[in-house]
Structure 1
């Protein structure tokens, strides 16, 4: 299933609606990029306002390691000419809809990363800010380089940092399991309610979310809508 579509003309994200036969509850999956045009975030916010519950990505607590890694996408919006913005809950989430944060704590995220070989962990910490600066300098052109189904690092860093899947697994696997456990509880408790539950997570998490809902709970993708993440000037 294509989640993020990259062409020479635009970058688009597929909003996926999943349903199960005989169940009124439905899930709407929003594959997010942590840096995008402000218009993308406003499109997401309008659609979230029609939902009844939001499950939102967001590592809880503070950590110097997590802050270092997220420099990669926090640098880009600082150059105003890029026309890019960083994803912020205050911009994306409507105030009228309740929000649950199923994500791990900063300490748990760092513990997973520390399971990597020492050299890989050290390289990750050194290279992430450097790649963030490259992303900031290159600006929107970085969006057109390669597949953007990436969560914690922009596409410009992927070849250097995520060539070995150990890094990707350390960044996503534990968090995906935590989210799927919460999705399971929502289904157990509210499957008979006619509600729309939004899942707002980085695009790199979406394959695991969709597979989990299909394999564990028999929900299937029924509709998809493309939202424009960025259009080159």
Structure 2
């Protein structure tokens, strides 16, 4: 089962419902893109309005290095002819729905990246403006070519299926490992505290984090993907 579906003309995201056979609590996973068509974010917001709690991605604090690494997304969204906008929690998250953010600090994120990449780290910072310019000029087509098609939900333990491509990349691991653990730990605490309540908990995180969420909820507590709804992220 795919988290993202990339074709020659569009990108779609699968909103995944995870349930446990013995508890009323359910998790609704939203694999997010940092830049998308405005209609995608409107559809996500409509669904968040029916949730009881949102667990949201978001590195805490400000960092010049983090801002440089995310420059590509911001530049692409600023070019109006692309028809894309940057994800913005001020308009995405509905008022009245509680939000928790278990993400890392900017300092922790950069420290992990420096340790994993060493000599590659300054290259990444230098390449960010170039990537931003390419994305801005080429528009949605550049995003279609850059999005990974290997972001699948993990199989049940013991199936022997190989690790999806890209998960052993040091940059990916630096940006994901600590953050994934914080996220899954937070969801585990919610399960412990509210498993007997008929509530819906939304997980609004980048698509690359969703496989770890699915694996963590399955391995730790027995939640399984039960339903999926496809939302269009962008069309070229």
TM-score, length of structure 1 as denominator length: 0.91
**CA gap 1:37/1:150 in 2 versus in 1, 3 angstroms:** farther
Please say if 1:211 is aligned against 2:215.
yes
Secondary structure in 2 aligned to 1:104? coil
**Residue equivalent to 2:161:** none
**Residue equivalent to 2:133:** 133
Shift of 1:163: 9.7
Shift of 1:150: 9.6
**CA gap 1:149/1:124 in 2 versus in 1, 3 angstroms:** farther
Please say if 1:198 is aligned against 2:202.
yes
TM-score, length of structure 2 as denominator length: 0.90
CA distance in 2, matches of 1:17, 1:163: 24
Secondary structure in 2 aligned to 1:127? helix
8 Å Cα contact 1:150-1:204 kept in structure 2: no
List, as ranges, runs of 4+ consecutive aligned residues in structure 1 with deviation greater than 2 Å: 146-151
Secondary structure in 1 aligned to 2:70? helix
The one of 184, 188, 193 equivalent to 2:192 is 188
> 1:32-181 to 2 correspondence within 5 Å?
32-148=32-148, 165-181=169-185
Shift of 1:49: 0.3
Q: How many pairs does the alignment contain? A: 222
Secondary structure in 2 aligned to 1:175? helix
Secondary structure in 1 aligned to 2:50? coil
Listed as ranges, the gaps of 5+ residues in structure 1 are: 152-161
CA distance in 2, matches of 1:171, 1:150: 17
CA deviation profile, 1:197-220 (whole Å, cap 9, x unmatched)? 000000011111111111111100
Please say if 1:24 is aligned against 2:24.
yes
**CA gap 1:149/1:203 in 2 versus in 1, 3 angstroms:** farther
CA distance in 1, matches of 2:220, 2:146: 31
8 Å Cα contact 2:117-2:171 kept in structure 1: no
Shift of 1:164: 6.8
**Aligned-pair Cα RMSD in Å:** 1.7
The one of 228, 231, 235 equivalent to 1:224 is 228
8 Å Cα contact 2:6-2:149 kept in structure 1: no
Shift of 1:134: 0.8
